[in-house]
Structure 1
Amino acid sequence: MPVTRKVRRDHTEVSCCLKYVIFGSNVIFWLIGLLVLAIGFWAWSEKDTFSNLSRLANVALDPAFLLILVGLMTFVIGFTGCVGALRENSCLLAAYAIFLAIILLLEMTAGILGFIFKDWIKAQATGGFQAFIVHYREDPDQQNLIDWIQEDWLQCCGIEGPKDWDKNNYFNCSSREVGSREACGVPFSCCKPKPNEIIKNKQCGYDVRKPGYVSSLRAFLKFAKLVLW
């Protein structure tokens, strides 16, 4: 009786096409995560956070900390997917799948909770923005973020109006007692830019909330340029 030999074919746990698709896409995510993480640490070093650890008290309000957190998460997820696909390591691929499932679950949960508790979230966002206003001059990253929100994104001046800037020590009307030029004013990002304006007027918000300032026509026109809610 003839003996039939069975040819054993080599096979891998991950198909070749899927392997390199996962590897290539995660290399990009891994590099992006590494870049964002490096930018976050660079921002902290520029603000001298590492030598002045007392600044970590307001770490939740620090945009650089958000960059570090997002960069670290992207780096870890990209690393597990990249190495797991390249080495066909089932443990790393399982961890990669779990990370993606957790992110998807968190996004779905955030969407549902955001719809249900939208009023509470709006109140928390308002309080958070007002906390940014309080620390406006203390952190250049927060300052740039607030200016971008007021000038480019929401085109607003504070949350409820220009009076929100009373919460800041520099723009509070009581600051005029120490001769501050910003007292009873608002940041320049509250002012509407003029057409074809090349250089921004950083002093356009000075004194606009000072009592009696709107009495003159020139002052009124300057105050009318403010973007209010």
Structure 2
Amino acid sequence: MGEPVEPVPRAPLSRDRVLRAAVAHADRAGIDALSMRKLAQELGVVPMALYKHVANKEELLDGMIDVVVSEIDPPAADADWKPAIRQRILCARRVLLRHPWASQVIETRVTPTPAVLRYMDSMIGTLRRGGFSIDLTHHAMHALGSRLWGFSQEVYNDTRGGPVDPAVQAAMLSRYPHVAELAMAVSHEDSSIVGTGCDDQAEFEFALDILLDGFDRLHQR
């Protein structure tokens, strides 16, 4: 008979392991499917074991956001403020595209978490080192808003993909002609500087570049 196979020891439970398992679960099933019970099952422990590492669901969500925000690349060394800010925001966007639930959770947080504060502090520091006054820095952070995290709220839902009821279209054209013209367009004009079609990434970068160019003009005054 062969030697008995020793069971592979399970990694000890830790706060980091709990948070990363929660992030992976949300990536796979969505944030609404995450519960302490399901997370405990996935980790092979009883639910009470989780509470040694996170006090409650809210603390779990805070920790998950810290894990996600920590994936954003650090600022490029010795880069000018404008490319440095742009690079980090676009990196934040790539991170949030990997974790599509994160923007929803970020918007619900009341108190900034440590990783969020570190990220904001570094962005403010980049602007200040670039010569921005504290007043202009304040306005810039407000103007960037959620774009700091790589997402922005759309003005309207894009419904161009399906057929449109002729009666609804006629009503829109008569009551709200400019909204209808924009919403029902199949694509942007070929000469559009953000390209043809409604490309989310192109639209995001278009708005970001307008903001950064505006900050630059104010900074040069």
TM-score by length of 1: 0.28
TM-score by length of 2: 0.29
